[in-house]
Structure 1
Amino acid sequence: MTDIFDVIADGTRRDILQLLLRRAADGDGGTSVTQIVSELGISQPTVSKHLKVLRDSELVTVREDGQRRFYSLAVEPLEAVDDWLVPFLVDAYGDSAPDIDFSVPPLPDSAAHAAEVVGRAAASAKHVVQTALKRLGA
């Protein structure tokens, strides 16, 4: 599965997600590609490309009605982002932090260090692979 942070890093995908969120608040049964194109002013192929990424990362669901597809926001994958951000908000606000349900205990120092080492190794490996693919012209 694609890293959720890579998916939401793209501004167009964030715009699509915000549009779907607004339309969900209006109680619609999904938003068509045509509606997204019209409201965001971007091309249909671009919208379709970004919707595929959002579908693959399970951030949107699709409902088919004949030839038309209607997209809706699926918030569950965003919970991973929320879980990652909460500790930073708590640190930033200190005792005046808004009420946040943070029931996961912090990692022991050794586990946090191991996670950091693994994360850095993964980032380094990703860079090496991307560089190799660029050199190969892929």
Structure 2
Amino acid sequence: MADIFTVIADPTRRELLRVLLLRRPGEISVGELVTALGLSQPTVSKHLRVLRDSGLVRVREKGQHRYYSVDAEPLTEVQEWLSPFVVAPASAGAQLAAVPARGPGVSMPAPLRRAAENLPDVGDVGTTLGRVVAGAQSRIPGPIKKRLGHREQG
């Protein structure tokens, strides 16, 4: 199982699989993949080889061209492993409540706990940041003009 996780851990390989999946059930050439991903041909070929060796893609050779398609069968193992972690939206709260926030025997240091309790609400952060920026914008022009030798005419 670890091998398939290693294969799909790479973002370039996941993007290759996504592009191939969009063509499903059709095939796509290496040249088309290079264009779609904006990567070099050697880079695409290297990642396709890893996907091919893991059984995630099939290849059909026609002359000097290779055409690839997705074979999702190896991903069933990943899906089976992930299924206990995937929660339906309606029961998300119930299942998340059953998962302990910290592992057994792990305690959060008091300073860290206090800091976490005092974190502001996301909306408050945006409002506060907006006010600070607006205030800074109104205070900056005066000192800059004075420093540059300009005087406000009134």
TM-score (norm 1): 0.62
1:82 aligned partner: 79
1:71 aligned partner: 68
1:17 aligned partner: 17
Structure 2: distance between partners of 1:16 and 1:42:
11
SS at match of 2:31: helix
SS at match of 1:14: helix
SS at match of 1:87: helix
SS at match of 2:39: coil
- Is residue 45 of structure 1 aligned with residue 42 of structure 2? yes
AA matched with 1:4: I
1:120 aligned partner: none
Percent identity of paired positions between Structure 1 and Structure 2: 59
* Matched residue count: 92
SS at match of 2:68: strand
Root mean square deviation, CA, Å:
1.9
Structure 1 residues 46 and 10, CA, compared in 2 at 3 Å: closer, same or farther?
same
- Is residue 31 of structure 1 aligned with residue 28 of structure 2? yes
Structure 2 gap ranges (5+): 93-154
Which residue of 41, 54, 58 maps to 1:57? 54
Structure 1: distance between partners of 2:42 and 2:51:
14
CA displacement at 1:95 relative to structure 2: 6.7
AA matched with 1:5: F
CA displacement at 1:96 relative to structure 2: 3.2
> Which protein shows a greater Rg?
2
Structure 1 gap ranges (5+): 98-138
CA displacement at 1:81 relative to structure 2: 0.7
AA matched with 1:96: S
CA displacement at 1:2 relative to structure 2: 6.8
Please identify runs of 4+ aligned residues in structure 1 that moved more than 4 A.
Answer: none
Structure 1: distance between partners of 2:7 and 2:74:
11
AA matched with 1:69: R
CA displacement at 1:86 relative to structure 2: 0.3
**Higher relative contact order, chain-length normalized (CA < 8 Å, sep 6+):** 1
